């Protein structure tokens, strides 16, 4: 494509609203523009990068035996009622009524639609297995859309669904998808890890997420230094410690005027945060629930959500805590608390701890579980840390941030039973099909790749995802030899199937160089004064700035070689 005739609105300034590198650079490089919160237009180069991801995904899905189809984005509520998810999915599901008052929703995922298709079309064990996928726009009314393409409300996903006759066959389908995913993310040139994961609102029996390692990731992963255990911290179990055996001391109310935060209370009472227990209050589908964790710990909300069987849990703000408990924030404790109380298993092993006194300006000392307060349940509710041992082998864990780019689920028969998707087995008996589902965040991958590959000058695309493989600069628009050579190279490279952005604009060399760096195109060919002086052009590698001087007639061969190597190595 010719730069002079393309819509590539690069920006010099950093857009104020962008908090992370990929968001900033996608805007600055003119890849995306925001229409409204979490909804973006993909401009030509942005779309070109997305197409690169799609092509890799499509090739590997087809290779793994999956078949592409395309399902509707608008889905009737009736289907979602069959699985109970119309009510359970929560406000991320965008619901609306049409002119005939029929309730519908925009597809955030397609288990219901595909299961409906399969129950109509699959009759016998002979029709199985099947694996069907699509690459399509999804809509999720995310509460906090942010970071550009990372967490949109509208985004592009590849979703695949497998259907098998029995559990063993379904596990094999899962394994094949797992391997295909490793291949996809490797080919994309990403540094990633598969981790054990929570199944979330999709449900099912087990699942793995594929995480791109990056500091800006919204997910926390734990990775064992010794065995191959790796898990999302939402899923990673923390073992209960042995109960302390010190004698129970007499409970005591102490005045702590104005002392509300953990460090302040600890300093005032001369104790460590490990001797204090925090009482945190969450809203679980409209019910206020208190959670006890040690003073230096955090509640893992997904563990809490799973324990309570809630669709959604969210920490209450100060006022809501007061409304629910009658106690001002900072002084809440379990003794005499009026709302449902659940206890982290670490707290259940503690003796003689400090808690809020359930009265302004008071705390309690020597509080003990069972003797001093009732509770609904004890469970593993806290966020794992790198001081916790690996749940598998006990070795040291490291904690890392990651961006979830893919998620594979073994679903089992939950959807097929609810929607009566059955097939006849060899004996003529009806059985529910055994399902799996497999998602990839296609548009998110572009953002994740940029998080992992950028420098102070812009994006540094890995070759397989680069929207253009080569940027060709004409630095002598008024010089016939330079212009003719540049034009000829453009045609030659295009003729060989290379994706070339030809910068034929009437701009200063400096701004052409800046844009080339910003766009992150892996190879830059400059045709300028060196041609008229020494008969050479410059080939520069974006990744390390290394420059090769070569004769124009050798450029295409060299570039084809570099592209081929970059594609195989990734
Ligand atoms: P997350 O935990 O990040 O919200 P999820 O668990 O809801 O993701 P899945 O239902 O597993 O996501 O969807 C499959 C894939 O779609 C995810 O692995 C992710 O890469 C992508 N994805 C999910 N939500 C978004 C979003 N709001 N914007 C962009 N991509 C998304
Ligand atoms: Mg997920």
Give tens-digit pLDDT for 354-363. Answer: 999 999 999 9
| Residue 441 CA to ligand 1 centre (angstroms) | 6
Name the closest ligand to CA 444. 1
Q: Sign of the CA dihedral 223, 162, 69, 151?
A: negative
Q: Is the CB of 142 under 6 A from ligand 1?
A: yes
| Residue 80 CA to ligand 1 centre (angstroms) | 19
Instruction: Return the structure tokens found at 381.
Output: 């509710």
Beta strands (DSSP E) in 216-286 are 219-224, 230-232, 252-255, 277-284
What is the residue-averaged pLDDT of the chain?
96
Residue 304: its pLDDT value, please? Answer: 97
* Ligand 1 atom nearest to CA at 145: 27
* Ligand 1 atom nearest to CA at 440: 15
Name the closest ligand to CA 151. 1
Q: Is the CB of 200 under 6 A from ligand 1?
A: yes
Pocket mutation for ligand 1, best pick of 46, 150, 157 (most atoms within 8 Å of C-beta): 157
Comparing C-alpha atoms, which of 457, 541, 530 is closest to residue 21? Answer: 457
Contact 238, 382 (CB under 8 A): yes
Residue 75: its pLDDT value, please? Answer: 98
pLDDT tens for residues 127-150?
Answer: 999 999 999 999 999 999 999 999
Ramachandran region, residue 497 (left: φ > 0; alpha: ψ -120 to 50; beta: rest): left
Q: Is the CB of 235 under 6 A from ligand 1?
A: no
Q: Is the CB of 357 under 6 A from ligand 1?
A: no
Instruction: Return the structure tokens found at 539.
Output: 């080939």
* Nearest CA owner, ligand 1 atom 14: 439
Q: Is the CB of 297 under 6 A from ligand 1?
A: no
Helices (H) and strands (E) in the chain, counts: 16, 31
| Residue 418 CA to ligand 1 centre (angstroms) | 24
What does the alpha-carbon distance between residue 500 and residue 148 come to, in Å, rounded to a whole number?
A: 26
Q: Residue 203 — very low, low, confident or very high, per pLDDT cuts 50/70/90?
A: low
* Nearest CA owner, ligand 1 atom 3: 404
Q: Is the CB of 405 under 6 A from ligand 1?
A: yes
Superfamily of domain 468-569: Anticodon-binding domain (3.40.50.800)
What does the alpha-carbon distance between residue 104 and residue 72 come to, in Å, rounded to a whole number?
A: 12
Give SS3 for 411.
strand
Stretch 97-121: mean pLDDT: 97
- What are the residues whose beta carbons fall under 8 Å from the beta carbon of 221, sequence distance 6 or more? 193, 195, 211, 213, 230, 231, 232, 233, 399, 400, 401, 402
pLDDT tens for residues 290-348?
Answer: 999 999 999 999 999 999 999 889 999 999 999 999 999 999 999 999 999 999 999 99
Comparing C-alpha atoms, which of 563, 539, 540, 562 is closest to residue 552? Answer: 539
Instruction: Return the structure tokens found at 470.
Output: 């080569």
Contact 75, 86 (CB under 8 A): no
Does pLDDT of 161 surpass 60? Answer: yes
| Residue 404 CA to ligand 1 centre (angstroms) | 7
357 phi and psi, to 5 degrees? -95, 5
Name the closest ligand to CA 403. 1
Degrees to nearest 5, angle at CA 237 with 234 and 242: 140
Q: Residue 181 — very low, low, confident or very high, per pLDDT cuts 50/70/90?
A: very high
| Residue 200 CA to ligand 2 centre (angstroms) | 7
Walk across the sheet containing 470-474 and list its strands: 500-503, 470-474, 523-527, 537-541, 547-550
Stretch 219-228: mean pLDDT: 93
Instruction: Return the structure tokens found at 418.
Output: 């609810």
What does the alpha-carbon distance between residue 492 and residue 474 come to, in Å, rounded to a whole number?
A: 15
Residue 408: its pLDDT value, please? Answer: 96
Does pLDDT of 199 surpass 80? Answer: no
Stretch 102-123: mean pLDDT: 97
Q: Which residues surround ligand 2, an ion (CB under 5 A)?
A: 407
**CA distances for 404 relative to 68, 143, 182, 407, 535, angstroms:** 23, 18, 13, 8, 49
What percentage of the chain has pLDDT greater than the value 70? 99
Q: Is the CB of 151 under 6 A from ligand 1?
A: yes
Q: Residue 111 — very low, low, confident or very high, per pLDDT cuts 50/70/90?
A: very high
Whole-prediction pTM value? 0.91
Pocket mutation for ligand 1, best pick of 152, 404, 445 (most atoms within 8 Å of C-beta): 404
pLDDT tens for residues 30-49?
Answer: 999 999 999 999 999 999 99
Q: Which letter does DSSP use for residue 539 in this model?
A: E
Question: Topology of domain 252-379, per CATH?
Answer: YbaK protein (3.90.960)
The owner of tokens 């699985």 is 83
* Ligand 1 atom nearest to CA at 109: 10
Q: Is the CB of 157 under 6 A from ligand 1?
A: yes
* CB-based burial label for 337 (10 Å; 0-12, 13-18, 19+): buried
CA trace torsion 183, 564, 457, 151 (10° rounding): -30
Residue 569: its pLDDT value, please? Answer: 55
Comparing C-alpha atoms, which of 84, 155, 140, 76 is closest to residue 113? Answer: 76
Which helix (H) or strand (E) covers residue 146, if one does? none
Comparing C-alpha atoms, which of 108, 154, 110, 105 is closest to residue 132? Answer: 110
* Nearest CA owner, ligand 1 atom 22: 441
Stretch 66-78: mean pLDDT: 98
What does the alpha-carbon distance between residue 498 and residue 56 come to, in Å, rounded to a whole number?
A: 17
- The CB-based long-range contact list for 64-69 (8 Å cut-off, 24+ gap) reads 64/131, 64/176, 64/177, 64/179, 64/180, 65/131, 65/176, 66/131, 66/132, 66/133, 66/160, 66/162, 66/180, 67/130, 67/131, 67/132, 67/133, 68/132, 68/133, 68/134, 68/135, 69/132, 69/133, 69/134
Q: Is the CB of 158 under 6 A from ligand 1?
A: no
* Ligand 1 atom nearest to CA at 405: 20
Q: Residue 538 — very low, low, confident or very high, per pLDDT cuts 50/70/90?
A: very high
Within the chain, all domains assigned CATH 3.40.50.800 are found at 468-569
Contact 333, 279 (CB under 8 A): yes
pLDDT tens for residues 239-294?
Answer: 888 999 999 999 999 999 999 999 999 999 999 999 999 999 999 999 999 999 99
Contact 337, 280 (CB under 8 A): no
| Residue 396 CA to ligand 1 centre (angstroms) | 29
| Residue 490 CA to ligand 2 centre (angstroms) | 43
CATH of 16-234+398-451, one of 3.30.930.10, 2.40.37.10, 3.40.50.10420, 2.60.40.10: 3.30.930.10
Comparing C-alpha atoms, which of 322, 346, 339 is closest to residue 373? Answer: 339
Q: Is the CB of 155 under 6 A from ligand 1?
A: yes
What percentage of the chain has pLDDT greater than the value 90? 94
Residue 570: its pLDDT value, please? Answer: 47
* Nearest CA owner, ligand 1 atom 7: 200
517 phi and psi, to 5 degrees? -65, -45
Name the closest ligand to CA 408. 1
* Nearest CA owner, ligand 1 atom 1: 404
| Residue 189 CA to ligand 2 centre (angstroms) | 21
Within the chain, all domains assigned CATH 3.90.960.10 are found at 252-379
Q: Is the CB of 439 under 6 A from ligand 1?
A: yes
Residue 88: its pLDDT value, please? Answer: 87
Does pLDDT of 100 surpass 80? Answer: yes
131 phi and psi, to 5 degrees? -135, 120
Which helix (H) or strand (E) covers residue 250, if one does? none
* Ligand 1 atom nearest to CA at 153: 27
Q: Is the CB of 404 under 6 A from ligand 1?
A: yes
């Amino acid at each position: 494509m010719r730069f002079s005739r393309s819509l590539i609105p690069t920006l010099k300034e950093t857009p104020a609203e962008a908090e992370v590198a990929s968001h900033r650079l996608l805007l600055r490089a003119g890849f995306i523009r925001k229409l409204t919160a979490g909804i973006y237009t993909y401009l030509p180069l942005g779309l070109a990068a997305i197409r690169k991801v799609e092509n890799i995904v499509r090739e590997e899905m087809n290779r793994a035996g999956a078949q592409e189809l395309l399902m509707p984005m608008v889905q009737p509520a009736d289907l979602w009622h069959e699985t109970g998810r119309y009510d359970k999915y929560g406000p991320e599901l965008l619901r609306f009524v049409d002119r005939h008052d029929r309730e519908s929703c925009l597809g955030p995922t397609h288990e219901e639609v595909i299961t409906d298709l399969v129950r109509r079309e699959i009759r016998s064990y002979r029709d199985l297995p099947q694996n069907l996928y699509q690459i399509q726009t999804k809509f999720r009314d995310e509460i906090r859309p942010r970071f550009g393409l990372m967490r949109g409300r509208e985004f592009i996903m590849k979703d695949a669904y497998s259907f098998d006759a029995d559990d063993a066959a379904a596990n094999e389908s899962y394994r094949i998808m797992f391997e295909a995913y490793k291949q996809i993310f490797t080919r994309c040139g990403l540094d990633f890890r598969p981790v054990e994961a929570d199944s979330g609102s999709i449900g099912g029996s087990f699942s793995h997420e594929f995480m791109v390692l990056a500091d800006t990731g919204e997910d926390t992963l734990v990775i064992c230094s010794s065995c191959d255990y790796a898990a999302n911290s939402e899923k990673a179990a923390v073992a209960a410690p042995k109960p302390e055996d010190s004698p129970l001391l007499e409970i005591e109310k102490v005045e702590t005027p104005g002392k509300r935060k953990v460090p302040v209370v600890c300093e005032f009472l001369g104790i460590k945060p490990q001797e204090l227990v925090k009482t945190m209050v969450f809203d679980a589908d409209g019910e206020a629930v208190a959670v006890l964790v040690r003073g230096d710990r955090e509640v893992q909300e997904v563990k809490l959500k799973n324990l309570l069987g809630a669709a959604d849990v969210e920490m209450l703000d100060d006022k809501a805590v007061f409304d629910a408990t009658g106690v001002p924030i900072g002084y809440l404790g379990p003794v005499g608390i009026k709302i449902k109380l659940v206890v982290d298993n670490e707290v259940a092993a503690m003796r003689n701890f400090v808690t809020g006194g359930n009265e302004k300006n008071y705390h309690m000392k020597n509080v003990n579980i069972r003797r001093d307060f009732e509770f609904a349940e004890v469970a593993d509710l806290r966020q794992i840390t790198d001081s916790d041992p690996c749940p598998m082998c006990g070795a040291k864990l490291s904690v890392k941030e990651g961006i979830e780019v893919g998620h594979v689920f073994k679903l089992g028969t939950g959807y097929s039973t609810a929607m009566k998707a059955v097939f006849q087995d060899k004996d003529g008996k009806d059985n529910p099909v055994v399902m799996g589902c497999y998602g990839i965040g296609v548009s998110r991958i572009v953002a994740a790749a940029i998080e992992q590959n950028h420098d102070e000058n812009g994006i540094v695309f890995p070759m397989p995802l680069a929207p253009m493989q080569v940027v060709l600069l004409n630095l002598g628009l008024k010089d016939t030899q330079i212009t003719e050579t540049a034009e000829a190279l453009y045609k030659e490279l295009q003729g060989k199937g290379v994706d070339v952005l030809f910068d034929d604009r009437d701009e200063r060399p400096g701004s052409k160089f800046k844009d080339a760096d910003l766009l992150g195109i892996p190879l830059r060919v400059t045709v300028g004064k060196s041609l008229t002086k020494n008969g050479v052009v410059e080939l520069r590698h974006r990744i390390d700035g290394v420059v090769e001087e070569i004769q124009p007639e050798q450029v295409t061969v060299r570039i084809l070689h570099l592209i081929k190597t970059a594609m195989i190595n990734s």
